Each structure stands twice: as structure tokens, then as C-alpha cells.
Structure 1
Amino acid sequence: MHAWPASEVPALPGKGRDLQIHDTATQGTITLDPGPVARIYVCGITPYDATHIGHAATYNAFDLVQRVWLDTKRQVHYVQNVTDVDDPLLERALRDGQDWTELAERETALFREDMTALRMLPPQHYIGAVEAIPGIVPLVERLRDAGAAYELEGDVYFSVESDPHFGGVSHLDAEAMRLLSAERGGDPDRPGKKNPLDPMLWMAARPGEPSWDGGSLGRGRPGWHIECVAIALDHLGMGFDIQGGGSDLTFPHHEMGASHAQALTGEFPMAKAYVHAGMVALHGEKMSKSKGNLVFVSALRRSGVDPAAIRLALLSHHYRADWEWTDEILADAVARLERWRAAVSRPDGIPADALVEEVREALANDLDAPAALAAVDRWVERQIATDGDDESAPGLVSRTVDALLGVAL
């Protein structure tokens, strides 16, 4: 599966700062020192109802991570999946009378278009669950053969008790885990499971549903968590720098994925940092596919909204915060974009070397994008109010905003 084209990232003078970021697993801020190649895995979409503002906010956060690392002169090895076969996708296709593969392809294509418009840097490896199945089957067989998984009426389940570190990502108690498991695709009440929290690794073929050859597992399709594990281990290996996604993936998805990988390899941890973006609400409720309260990036673009303004609206909130999308937020972003473009359109201006360092410092501090925007706002206000004579300043500001914030002026 192919990703989307990359926009050029301008080089800035000097060198950026190492990233300090909040790690869900340790429940604190850590400083990442990835070495010459930084490795990041971000969980992708299930391709229906793409791309809403909640999606965009999440991928914007991890785009900033890449930009901070690139500014430190590192290379970035970024991997993202597409869950192009799963119960919610099949249910949506059935509801709408569509072929599930056509639905997945159409929505994935739309997602690519939106990511391109928003100037999100693409992953080096963009992998669909279906194409990953040949690599998933051997992992499930290994877990089963090692006693970390078991069969139940043809399905294969992972035993959470096989990983001594289980629970170390989310830090939830058993009852909270059980409730979230039932809410987010698990089946804690299924009779015969060794532990209600045990997640499915391989679902035996069901009538009328797609299935693939699973070798000794029989025909079926993979569970949700093992999909990402197989892709991450194949392309990044253990101990990669960041496992990222929305905060709703903390449990069960990232918790289970970590345990799968740790049980498979005997190594700990799967990722050095588990980083989670906050949820976006609309009209007082979390934006979600099930509720249908979605604002789509493509609809905003079709209505004439500049993608750079959409990106500024996202950047105006800290990535870990839960926030609510409103027309006022978008209007403020449109106005900010106009001010910034007017300021850098002047032939000369006030010096901007200090601004570069302010933006770098803000983003290195747990991706504090609102502080970065405020720094640019201050330069813009002085630029408009003062006659400067630095001919290089407007261009430097434009390159800084592009390179570090992904906003083209």
C-alpha cells in the first residue's frame, strides 16, 4: 500500500533540541534520545468516515514529532498501518450495501488526499492489515506454541497472564479494563476464556465474512492488536522510540499490543514512550463514528477553507488536551493565517533568529504548539508595528513555520 507525497521540509540554521514528551506508561515526561534514526509507529485509521478532525488532530501531533526530530538532523523511520479489515468496517459496508474492499479503498484514498492537503509528512511504510496477514500468521502460531495463546472453538486468544508487564501501559484496574474491553471491540463475557480480558489473535472464518489461509490456524482473519504488532516488529523491531495514537487506544489496543510483542520476543519494553493525543468533541460530545458527530477535513476543504487554517486550528490546542471544535476556533485560525501571511509578505522585517529558538524550545517541551503559535504571534505583532531592515527575516519566519509547524505561508 502506498502512502502520500511528502512536502519538502526546509532546513533551518542551527540545530533543534531533543524532544521531551509525556509517556503514558511511566506517567511522566521523558527525554528521548533516539540516535541517528528515530523510530515511530502510529496507529492508522479503520477506513470508513475518514478523515474527521479527531483523526487530523492525532496525526498532526505525530507530524510535529517528526519535524522536531528532523530539525535535530536525525532521520525518521515512520510506520503507520491501515486496518482495512475489521468488524466496524464490515458492519458499515453491510449497512450501506457496499463491497467492503471498495469502501476501504475509497476512504483510504480520501485520507491520503487530506493528509497531503494538511502537509502531514508520510510514513516510510504504510501497511494494510490485509497485506500484513502473511506476517501475522507465524506470530500467532509462535504465541500458541509457546503457551501464550490458546484455542477456543476455532478462535485463538492471547493469554494476558503470559506477559508479566501486562497493565503497565494503561495502569487501569481489572474492572476498568473489563468495561473498556467490552466498549472497544473485546468480548470479556465470552464463556470459555481463561481471562475475560484475553484478546483475540485469530478469528476463525465466519459465514459471509472475508477470510484468509491461516496455515495451522485454519482460515480466518487477524485480531486488531496483533496486526499492529506484526507490522511494527517487521519494520521497526523492539524498543522503538514512540508508539503513538489517540488516547482511546491506550486500552486495550496499546496495552495488548505491548504484551503481544513482549511475549513474542521476551524483551521489554515494546516502545520507549507511549504517546497519546487527546480527543476532539463536537457539541459537547467526543467526535466519534458511532455518534456521527463528525467534522470532515474534506468537507472543510470543499467549502473553501485553506488547509493551512485547518492546521493552525489544530495547533492552537496542546496535543494531549481534550477540546471542542467550534466555528470560532476555525475563524480565529483563518484570521491568524491572514496576519502571518501579511507579516511575511513584507520585503524586510525585524530579526527572527530568536523566534526560531522560541519555536524550537516550545515544541521540544512536550510539543507545546500553542506556545509556538504565541511566539510567532509576538513576532508578527512587532513586524507589523515596527519598520525593520532585516531582509532575511520574513523568509526565515516562513521557513520556520513551514519546517516546524507544517504551515505554508
Structure 2
Amino acid sequence: MESVTPAAAHTAHIDTGDTAWLLAATALVLLMTPGLALFYGGMVRTKSVLNMLMMSFVSIALVTVVWLACGYSLAFGGDVADGLIGGLHQAGLAGLGPSSVHGTVPTLLFATFQLTFAIITAALISGAIADRAKFGAWLVFVPVWALLVYVPVAHWVWGPGGWIGHDLGALDFAGGLPVEITSGASGLALCLVLGPRLGFKKDAMRPHNLPMVMLGAGLLWFGWFGFNAGSAMGATGLAAAAFLNTLAAGCTGLLGWLFVEHRRDGHPTTLGAASGAVAGLVAITPSCGTVSLLGALVVGLAAGVVCSYAVSWKFRLDYDDSLDVVGVHLVGGVIGTLLIGLFAEKAMTGGPEGLLYGGGLAPLGRQLLAVAAVAVYAFAATYGLGRLLDKVMGLRAGEEQEHTGLDLTVHAETAYDHGVLGHGAPVGASPFVPTAQKVHTQA
């Protein structure tokens, strides 16, 4: 929907209830990126945990700058290229003052809400390249990728005149295509460009802090209510249904993953519980506003079961997706987007129905085409960008940096004293001396 200018304010108004809910939802979605940082940070080894946290946090700043400069206008401005991209007439949020309205909320709030989606999508990719990417190269990659990949796909799916949402008629309520499939396909491309970590398939690379992983998963789940229910753009019954569907799918995703672990390995794990919940939440993202509660339960369960197997594909296919971005976000996003073609209900969509409710094969075909187009574009564009940056400035950290750990060699810090000092600080050392200074003094 286009923004409404002050001159046309008599045709639209700001609803305070809708605005209050979207303000809260925006804060919830922004919290997901620090939650992701903890989730990823706990999954890596002690020597690179701070680098992992930084890759998420710096994405907030980088994506915000390019989104406000031109990203929002290109994604949600008026279409200028047959459904492929928007124009630049709202670059810098030009003309979008406090009284500009999008539906029933301020346009500035809508732009900020959509910004939080773009932020976490870029941050998600970092999990595929953990432990071995140059931080400086990541600083260049993120803003360029956001404009090259995320912005066009967001326009295709949600922008006015976008070819997937408007012309094809594929459904995506809260981001299965622009967020989950885009980040998963891009993560696969980038980890192929970088190559595997030193010791991949030889050394144990277990999560160093599972309580941190669980905390991160909890924050992600909490924020996901803003992600999905906020996409209703108002305090409505549809928002309530999306909220409940999100909770339900996260639960069945968790249970499905644990069931597979118990049968396959004999041990249901905390990492499996966290991963299963995230898999269910990923899959329900595109479908939370299109399927019933029964559909949500099935979507989450399917994602928990399938993704629990998909994370092991990297060992057979020899690609080092460090923290399972492909196995969870790409596979989960595909599952959730395709199952719309089976479980979509008129009561939720206001019209389109899935195959199981009399809609025929056409809805499933539309969802499949959208998935294929977005996955292929995101993979190809990211692979090309990765190769270019690798040739120009190098994407991979040096072997010694990777062996020692990126925390100390890049950031001159460590998350835990014992990670560098072995048995704590030297006798008599002041506890108030920063870790980095202690390290250099000891050296």
C-alpha cells in the first residue's frame, strides 16, 4: 500500500491501537537480532564468540544506514520496472513526515518495522560463515548484499506492483521468501565461496555455551511474535491468529526435533530443543496468517522433523554451513512457504485456498515458482558478490587468525579470561584491567 500524503489525509487516519501494537512489534523484531547474536554466539567455540556477536550487532548499524538512504524507497516505493524494483522518490524517507499514513499506521513506523526485517535477514547469513570470515569484508558485504538481494526480493513479495505478490499471487505473510529463503540460499552461496573451516569433519566443533544458546532461542521466540503478529499491521483478529500460530508451530517444531533425536541418537538435547523451536518458527513465518491452528501445528512439526535431518546434509555434500543456516532457515522457509499451497484457508486469507481446502494445484504451483525464483536469485547474486569481494579484498581470515581465534586476532578481546590465560589472571593482577590489556601484558 502506498503512503498517504498530508494532502490526502482525509482518506486515511492513524489508528492509535494499531500504531501502539506496531511500535511494540517493531521493538520485538529488533530484539531478535541481539537474540540471534546470543544464539549464534553460544554455538561457536570460545575463541570466536565475540566475533560472532559483533557480526550480528554491526548488521543493525549497516543495514539501518542503507535502508534509510535508499533501501526503503527501492523496496516499498512505487514500482518502476515491471514488478522488479521500486523507485528512488522516497530516498532518505523524503516526504514522509509524522502525518504520512500507511494503512492505519504512520509511514515512518511502517518503514522502521520493515527495517528490522532487513537487519535480521543480513545477520542470519553470518551463521553460515562463522569462525573464518574477515570482519572487514563483512562490513562491506552486508550493505551491498542488502541492496542487491534483500531489497529487490522484498519488493517482489510485498512492494506495490511486485511481481510475486501482485502478478503471480503467491502468499507470504511475514517473510518466508525475503527473510528465510533469501538468508538460507545466500548463506549457502557464501560458505561455498569461503570454503570449510580448518578441521571441518575432523575436529570437534561443539557449542561452547548451551545456556547462551537457549537464552538466544528464547529471545528469538519472544521477538518472533512481533515478527509474525506484527505483520498484520494492526491490533486485529488476524494478528491474534498469527500470534497463536507462531506459538503452536514453535512448540511442534521443538517436539518434532526432539522425537527425531531420541529415535536416532537416543538423547534429546538442549541444542536440539532450541534448534527445533527455531525451525518451527521459521516455517510458520510465511504461513502464520494464511493457515488455521491445525495447519500451524502441522507446519511446525514438519519443519522440526525435516530440518533435524537437513542439518546433517553438509557432511555428506561437503559444504561447511557452520551454524546450520541452510538446514534450518532455507529448508524451514521452503517447507513453510510450500505448505501454504496445501493448508491455506479462506477464513485466514480472505480468498485463496490451498489444495486440501479445494483450491486445486494452482496455489501450490504459485508457491513453488516463488520459492524457486527467490532461492536461485539469492544464491546467484550472493555467490557473484562473494566472489567479487574475495577477489578485491579477500573474504577469508588468515590461517593463523582462524587457528588462534578471531576474537583475539581481530578484536583484541576474549569472552573468557581462561580462554587466553589458561588458569586465570596472573597472581596480583588487577581484576579491573581489561582482558585485552591483560593479554598483552602477559605476552
TM-score (norm 2): 0.23
Greater fraction of residues in strand: 1
Greater fraction of residues in helix: 2
TM-score (norm 1): 0.24
